[in-house]
Structure 1
Amino acid sequence: MNWAAFTTAAPELAVITERRFGAFRHHVLATLRRDGSPRTSGLEAGIRGGELWLGMMAGSLKALDLRRDPRFALQANPGEGTGMGGGDVRIAGRAYEVEEGEARDAYVKEVEPPQPFHLFRTELTEVVRTCVEDDTYLVVQVWRPGAPVRTLRRT
């Protein structure tokens, strides 16, 4: 399921998620190394044309990880301190490289990334938001394709 489908399925959570990712330029991407252990890397991610795009330098280890195993998690930059509105947001899914075509051409025209580079289109498998409500409750919202947003509250 791409970003556009997510916004249709869970519009309120999508607005919060897009706002959190739009608040800062750099975020943290988790990929899987060849041996299955996690690798975290800084990344600029963008939502354009109904898709969440991951762009990265040519030959980067995170790109090689995604080529080998497309699973990823992307954590929104929390900002300074813990007071960032919207809470913590994480997106999980699979990323597939786009090496040519109209979508890539449009991305290059809009973003003007340094060349050469890798571009990955994502399919979302989960979006999770964690926040504190009324200084009392820990609230966790979980969305997965085909299911409504689940909200858990803990004191």
Structure 2
Amino acid sequence: MAVTWEKFETAAPDLARAVRACFAAAETHVLATLRRDGSPRVSGTEVDFVGAELALGSMPGAVKARDLRGDGRFAVHANPGAELGDGDVKVAGVAVEVTDPAEVARLQGNSDPCHVFLLRMTEAVHTSVAGETIVIDSWREGLPRVRFERKNTGEVVRTES
């Protein structure tokens, strides 16, 4: 089952803050969608936090919108580039298109033609570096949070919360 940004934020507030910060740090993100034949496609995109929602928009007729209309499953990656800073994040789930014109205008802030999708999340992963340790903090709907710490020696420590 996929959840709204608000439910994810309630379930994992510290991880949600890290995810939001990484999306804010990078102007554009990489969206993975599925083509009609099931093969993957990646596209540049931006995500927006609108109230309690995580949303994605696109120009009318864009292939990413066509993909999401056919199969709403997605993954989106925010990476600030060579300087990891606070790390990078990936979220995945199901995109649900908003079709009500008034709601589209509210979410996008104007009435220009576009597609707007609300992102319903099934998972979120934040990867960062602490000293010489890679830290992977992951959340999946309905499961305990899992954190992996991979030290430069190759040792991996797993914890659940």
- Fold match (TM-score > 0.5): yes
Given the alignment of the two structures, is residue 116 of structure 1 paired with residue 117 of structure 2, yes or no? no
By how many angstroms is 1:105 displaced? Answer: 3.1
Secondary structure at the counterpart of residue 46 of structure 2: strand
Distance change (3 Å), C-alpha of 1:116 and 1:98 = same
Letter in 1 for 2:33: T
- Kept after mapping to 2: 8 A contact 1:91/1:124: yes
Task: Give ranges in structure 2 of 5+ residues lacking alignment.
Answer: 152-161
Structure 1 residue corresponding to 2:6, chosen from 4, 9, 25 = 4
Letter in 2 for 1:143: W
Question: Which residue is 2:154 aligned to?
Answer: none
Question: Which residue is 1:79 aligned to?
Answer: 80
Structure 2 residue corresponding to 1:134, chosen from 131, 141, 152 = 131
Letter in 2 for 1:74: V
**1:86-129 deviation digits (Å, cap 9, x = unpaired):** 211000010011011653231133xx37x311000111000011
Pairing 1:82-101 to 2, within 5 Å after superposition: 83-100=83-100
Letter in 2 for 1:5: K
Task: Give ranges in structure 1 of 5+ residues lacking alignment.
Answer: none
Moved more, 95-104 or 123-132: 95-104
Counting aligned pairs with the same residue, the percent is 44
- Stretches (4+) displaced over 3 A: none
Question: Which residue is 2:159 aligned to?
Answer: none
Over the aligned positions, Cα root-mean-square deviation in angstroms equals 1.5
Question: Which residue is 2:63 aligned to?
Answer: 61
Distance 2:81 2:41 in 1: 23
Distance 2:106 2:86 in 1: 30
TM-score in terms of structure 1 length: 0.90
Moved more, 93-102 or 12-21: 93-102
Distance 1:107 1:22 in 2: 18
**1:59-109 deviation digits (Å, cap 9, x = unpaired):** 111000000000000000x2341x332211000010011011653231133
By how many angstroms is 1:18 displaced? Answer: 0.3
- Kept after mapping to 2: 8 A contact 1:56/1:119: yes
